[in-house]
A and B are shown apart, each in its own frame.
Chain A
Amino acid sequence: MLKSIAKLASLAGALALITSVATARDLVINFDDLNPGPKKGFDDAVEAFRAAYPDINVIVNNTDREAHKTAIRNFLTNDAPDVTSWYPGNRMAPFVDAGLFADISDLWASDENLSSNFEAIKPTMTRDGKQWGVPYSYYQWGVYYRKDIFDKLNLAEPKTWDELLSACDVMTENGVTPFSIGTKFLWTAAGVFDYLNLRTNGYDVHNGLTAGEIKYTDDRIRATFANWATMLERCSFVKNHATMSWQEAIAPFANGDAAMYVMGNFAVDGFKNADLTEDQIDFFQFPEITPGLARAEEAPADALFIPAKAKNKEDARLFLSFVAQADIQSQWNKTIGQLPPNSAAAINEDDKFIVEGFATVSTAAGLAQFFDRDAPAAMAKAGMEGFQKFMLEPGSLDEILENLDKVQAEVY
């Protein structure tokens, strides 16, 4: 019986093949953020695309971010969508190397908007000299601080390392812990390290380190850790940071026990949820350490990619060049409170963090993606464990650096 069904099916299928070409232009997109803001930003962009191309049938699968990280490993080989969200930098490397993402260099070359307005972020999307995706958003990192505490102690935003250290001394004297941080999930410590290294050694050395060209026991990296040791001594972090997540570490910041927080712009939402008002919090760029060094910033981007197995690559490319447009990027990032990678796009002038963040990253000499996106995952894991260990046991620095060298030798 089953055989006859199969026979019938194949007969009808053959007929269908002859009589009609692909019936509908289906475009399947896998996205990875269910939080209300990001979901709305994405959905609006899809709606705009539907309006512009009514004959394309867009199908959206939106899943939770962590689930997406697991699922992508399967769906890229088994049942690929036409477009998927993922991260650039080294996070895309395994998929690029396994040939699972489609090369879209020709799109970057032929699309006028992509070729002219994405210069700053293009290197992040590039691997082996080719481009693999289109970024839709990025955000700045820096120091978020309690403006009311700074005012009370007559402190100004520190511009240099010495200013920061003396500001910390004032805070400590007044019973305020300078920095809040929660290192339970490790990556927050990498933010501090990245900035210390970018300010001590500059973008090229930092890049060389995460690319595996410079050893951790290098004197320049040791200088970074020496500055970190100074920071631990004079600009100390909250106690018990090893048991807290970054969200839990907002509590001492909101309570006024700690005055500063090295974080990405997504944290502003968390601060506001902890009943801090816009007037109480503000942002400054991580202060200069080595004078005269070109200022590089941390600015992780989120991007969209086309799987190599996508069924409808033509329309997928259409979608990518559509979301790269200035007006779409402006609207999307206004909704999610982040920065548009398109340099021709407008930013949300009403959001002081976005305005300051844009000023910070658009004038930066180089943009780092974040330690765990710049370094391969296995190196990032070991590195971040090392950073946490250093924060808890600064005395074991040599041991930490030697171990990181060992991991580095294995991973690259």
Chain B
Amino acid sequence: MASTASLRANRYQTASTTVALSAIVLIIALIGMFTFDVSWMVDNLGFTKRVDARVPSFFARFSCLIIALGAAFICFTNTSLYKRNKLTYAPWIFLFIGTAFFLIYVIIPIFQSISYSFTKWDGLYDINGFWTGEWVGLRNYVQLLDDPNFYTSLWNNILWLVLYMLAVPAGLGIALFLNQTVGGIRIYKSLFFFPFVISQVVVGLIFAWTYNPEFGLLSEVWGFFFCEQTTNIMGNLTTTCTVDPPSILGDPKYATYGIIAAGLWPQIAYCMILYLTGLNNVSPDQIEAGRLDNAKGWKMLWHIILPQLKPATFIAVVVTVIGALRSFDMVATMTQGGPFGSTNVLAYYMFDQAVGEGVGRYGYGSAIATVLFAIMLIYISYFLWRMYQDEKEGN
């Protein structure tokens, strides 16, 4: 009996020592986090020649932060409050880091960006680190309503949304075609999947070169029908055409379609792989039953296969819509929004106005971002609502 009591006391003592120690560490780490300044040490102690001391300072402070968090964690888990309510608190401890990062990198910037959209700001802070913008209320939004480039971008976004959807049936078609068992089918599948693996930037470059009216593949093919090699006045070979090859990315009428076609290539591959995995799960019993009821061809596809592919279709539509709204890298690599802004999409126009080529209209860019966010929000809410409904039904 006595031994248990002393054991208990001993354990209590260990715990309180741990807590005391971690509390001390916590305080030191907190002080260190706010005061540690390597550049000060470098400047005043003559350690080295002047270097960029921000990096070591950052790491010193960051280590202090980690130590402080660890100490706080130990302190907290040793309190009786925590011990009595483990089940309530434990999940939050695990969620803490993820939530913190989500807040810092996603949630707070959204609100910051919305607040900037009511200001005129060129992205600079003055010498004292104060923000140099001014509050202009709704003026950026009023300007947006009167900006032809904004309507061009919005229209192009709609074009992207609609035409990008072609990736879903095209992906399904290829998946159905590849869903057979012949020798080497895996190689064919990988080849079809290949474009999704290459970086978007590379896809953009390849298509830009293909379209190039001077030396592109398209102009070569065109030249076979309409052009001939002649010598010019300086005796050099040059190409003269009866009908000029189309300058797809240089003509505002075709440029956006040209970029969407380039974007579709990897997107089709993505949808295809989603459907291929979906087809693996199609139940053979139902196909068999369908056969018995005399279903084949389109009927079989429409009534038996497609309903079972519903989850795959859902995901394919979701990723395609998101891909269409994010269509930034393609535009950036292929045309930079040109010619004269005719291939801008909201995402690129926002970037262009805020940070591109020193234009520096951060307020205006934020207003565009807010509009884009609002459009996405409609879609995201629908998506979340669908997920919630599915959960509720329990399937």
Q: A: which residues have CB within 8 A of B?
A: 1-3, 6, 9, 12-13, 16-17, 20, 23-24, 26, 28, 57, 59, 69-70, 73, 76-79, 91, 94-95, 97-100, 146, 148-149, 152-153, 174-176, 183-186, 239-244, 248, 251, 255-257, 308-309, 377-378, 381, 385-386, 388-389, 392-393, 403, 406, 410
Please tell me if B300 contacts chain A, counting CB pairs below 8 Å.
no
Question: Is the CB–CB distance between B357 and A406 below 8 Å?
Answer: no
Q: B86-129 CB contact bits vs A (8 Å, 1 = yes)?
A: 00000000000000000000000000000000000011111101
Question: Is the CB–CB distance between B340 and A388 below 8 Å?
Answer: yes
Which listed residue, A70, A255, A410, touches B234 by the CB 8 Å rule? A255
Given A99-B127, A378-B359, answer yes or no on A23-B28 (Cβ-Cβ < 8 Å): no
Question: Is the CB–CB distance between A175 and B233 below 8 Å?
Answer: yes
Please tell me if B247 contacts chain A, counting CB pairs below 8 Å.
yes
Please tell me if B31 contacts chain A, counting CB pairs below 8 Å.
yes
Question: Is the CB–CB distance between A100 and B127 below 8 Å?
Answer: yes
B252 cross-chain contacts in A, Cβ below 8 A:
392-393
Enumerate the 7 nearest inter-chain pairs by beta-carbon distance, A residue then B residue, closest first.
A256-B234, A242-B250, A13-B44, A389-B340, A243-B250, A385-B340, A2-B32
Please tell me if B223 contacts chain A, counting CB pairs below 8 Å.
no
Q: Which of B1-56 contact A (CB under 8 A)?
A: 28-29, 31-32, 35-36, 40-41, 44-46, 49-50, 52, 54
Question: Is the CB–CB distance between B54 and A240 below 8 Å?
Answer: no
Which listed residue, B49, B52, B125, B355, touches A98 by the CB 8 Å rule? B125
Q: B: which residues have CB within 8 A of A?
A: 28-29, 31-32, 35-36, 40-41, 44-46, 49-50, 52, 54, 64, 122-127, 129, 132, 143, 146-148, 211-214, 232-236, 238, 244, 247, 249-252, 336, 338-341, 352-353, 355-361
B361 cross-chain contacts in A, Cβ below 8 A:
378
Given A2-B28, A13-B45, A176-B232, answer yes or no on A377-B213 (Cβ-Cβ < 8 Å): no
Number of residue pairs spanning A and B whose beta carbons lie under 8 angstroms apart: 152
Given A26-B50, A406-B146, answer yes or no on A16-B124 (Cβ-Cβ < 8 Å): no
Q: A242-B247, A389-B340, A392-B251 are in contact. List 15 more A-B contacts (CB 8 A).
A: A2-B29, A2-B32, A6-B31, A24-B49, A26-B49, A28-B50, A100-B127, A148-B234, A240-B213, A242-B249, A243-B247, A381-B352, A386-B340, A392-B250, A392-B340
A189 to chain B, nearest CB (A): 10
Give CA–CA (A146, B234) in the complex, Å. 10
Given A256-B232, A377-B358, answer yes or no on A16-B125 (Cβ-Cβ < 8 Å): no
Q: Could you give 17 example pairs across A and B, Cβ below 8 Å?
A: A2-B28, A2-B31, A2-B64, A9-B41, A13-B41, A26-B49, A28-B50, A77-B125, A77-B127, A99-B126, A100-B126, A153-B233, A176-B233, A309-B127, A377-B357, A392-B252, A403-B148
Interface centre among A2, A9, A98, A378, by most B CB within 10 Å?
A2
B118 to chain A, nearest CB (A): 15
Residue of A nearest to B129 (CB): A77
A3 cross-chain contacts in B, Cβ below 8 A:
28, 31-32
Give CA–CA (A86, B29) in the complex, Å. 41
Given A28-B50, A255-B238, A385-B340, answer yes or no on A91-B358 (Cβ-Cβ < 8 Å): yes
